């Protein structure tokens, strides 16, 4: 690859993981993502994603979550998450495609963390959930070194938890 090229590379990591998780390298940033098929419509999963106050009921990676702004989901809306081993952080929605995806980010000295939540309806009636985390900035390498295994584990726990919760909600006829 030429120096300065913006082409993405995908590397599959085999150590430490029960399943492969692709990494995409973009210059100094790394994107960690995981995907899981959920037997529920995108609308059911979307509803669960927007109800951040209930996240602690379906994932052990969040102990408390609250929206800091009233009103509907929109770019600029902020949420405060408290996570084991990571503490509290405020995320701001930076991209929104209703009932399909949202991206939020947080900034800390030397590192910007961007988290993506993407829903893709599949022909078989399931919905593919893709969760991603990207660290960028001058201290991104250090952040990755200190939190890489924890980040991968948290993404897997969140995906499995959201799958179980959404499938229960769908089976019960709830949005």
Task: Tell me the pLDDT tens digit for each residue of 84-113.
Answer: 988 899 999 999 999 999 999 999 998 999
pLDDT category at 120 given cuts 50, 70, 90 is: very high
Q: What's residue 142's pLDDT?
A: 85
Backbone angles phi, psi at 125, to 5 degrees: 95, -10
Stated pTM of the model: 0.82
Q: What's residue 17's pLDDT?
A: 34
> Which of 13-17, 33-37, 80-84 comes out lowest in average pLDDT?
13-17
Structural domains of the chain sorted by starting position, each given as residue range(s) with its CATH number in brackets: 10-171 (3.30.530.20)
pLDDT category at 146 given cuts 50, 70, 90 is: confident
Segment 106-126 shows an average pLDDT of 95
The answer for residues whose C-beta is within 8 angstroms of residue 14's C-beta and 6 or more apart is 20
Q: Which residues of 45-68 are buried (b: 16+ CB within 10 A; e: fewer)?
A: bbbbbbebeebbebbebbeebeee
């Amino acid at each position: 690859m030429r120096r300065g090229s913006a082409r993405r590379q995908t590397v599959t990591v085999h150590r430490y993981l029960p399943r492969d998780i692709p990494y995409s390298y973009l210059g100094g940033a790394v994107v960690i993502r995981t995907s899981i098929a959920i037997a529920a419509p995108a609308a059911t999963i979307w509803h669960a994603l927007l109800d951040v106050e209930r996240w602690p009921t379906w994932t052990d990676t969040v102990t408390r979550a609250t929206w800091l702004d009233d009103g509907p989901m929109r770019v600029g809306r902020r949420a405060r998450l408290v996570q084991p081993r990571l503490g509290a952080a405020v995320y701001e929605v930076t991209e929104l495609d209703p009932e399909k995806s949202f991206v939020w980010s947080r900034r800390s000295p030397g590192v910007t963390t961007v988290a993506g939540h993407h829903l893709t309806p599949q022909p078989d009636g399931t919905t593919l959930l893709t969760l991603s985390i990207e660290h960028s900035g001058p201290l991104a390498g250090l952040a990755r070194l200190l939190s890489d295994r924890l980040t991968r584990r948290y993404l897997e726990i969140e995906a499995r938890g959201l799958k179980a919760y959404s499938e229960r909600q769908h089976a019960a006829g709830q949005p």
